[in-house]
């Protein structure tokens, strides 16, 4: 795919993210130690990621203390996205975001919505790096927000 400008690069990165269903979300615990978990996720056209978790999980507790996260998306076929951002818990008014961007991509996640302990987060990116390692000279695209 030939790219001629920033919008083409953004489209390439967003399309890759849309094709993926799993990500590793890394959070920091109250002792400053990193913890990581695999999550199913959805995304918006603004590169925001949406995922659910139980309020008894380590990542939920960590995000209450420190909303900064690092995320890795994709690892198959030597293409990956690294993302750094800030996670914010979605309130009930965020149901449209959850339905349209998360459940539509990962329909199996909807079954957890009936759990009273289920919570949803949106990650607003501050930095994204896309890497395609399949070429002699790696294709690297960096987006700053």
The model's pLDDT over 18-76, given as tens digits with 9 standing for 90+, comes to 999 999 999 999 999 999 999 999 999 999 999 999 999 999 999 999 999 999 999 88
The b-or-e profile of 99-132 (16+ CB within 10 A means b, else e) is: eebbbebbeebeeeeeeeeebbbbbebeebebbb
Does domain 6-144 sit in CATH 2.30.110.10? Answer: yes
Q: For residue 7, is pLDDT > 70? A: no
Chain segment 61-73, per-residue pLDDT in tens: 999 999 999 999 9
CA-nearest of 121, 128, 6, 33 to 72 is 128
pTM for the model stands at: 0.90
pLDDT of residue 1: 37
Chain segment 83-139, per-residue pLDDT in tens: 999 999 998 777 888 888 899 999 999 898 888 999 999 999 999 999 999 988 889
Confidence of residue 3 (pLDDT cuts 50, 70, 90): very low
């Amino acid at each position: 795919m030939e790219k001629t400008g920033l919008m083409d690069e953004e489209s390439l990165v967003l399309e890759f993210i849309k094709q993926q269903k799993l990500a590793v979300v890394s959070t920091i615990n109250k002792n400053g130690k990193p913890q990581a978990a695999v999550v199913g996720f959805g995304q918006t056209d603004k590169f925001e990621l949406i995922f659910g978790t139980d309020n008894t999980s380590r990542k939920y507790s960590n995000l209450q203390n420190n909303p900064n996260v690092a995320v890795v998306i994709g690892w198959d076929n030597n293409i990956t996205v690294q993302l750094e951002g800030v996670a914010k818990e979605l309130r009930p008014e965020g149901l449209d975001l959850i339905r349209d961007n998360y459940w539509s991509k990962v329909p199996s996640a909807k079954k957890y919505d009936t759990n009273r302990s289920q919570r949803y987060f949106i990650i607003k990116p501050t930095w994204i790096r896309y890497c395609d390692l399949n070429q002699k000279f790696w294709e690297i695209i960096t987006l700053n927000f």
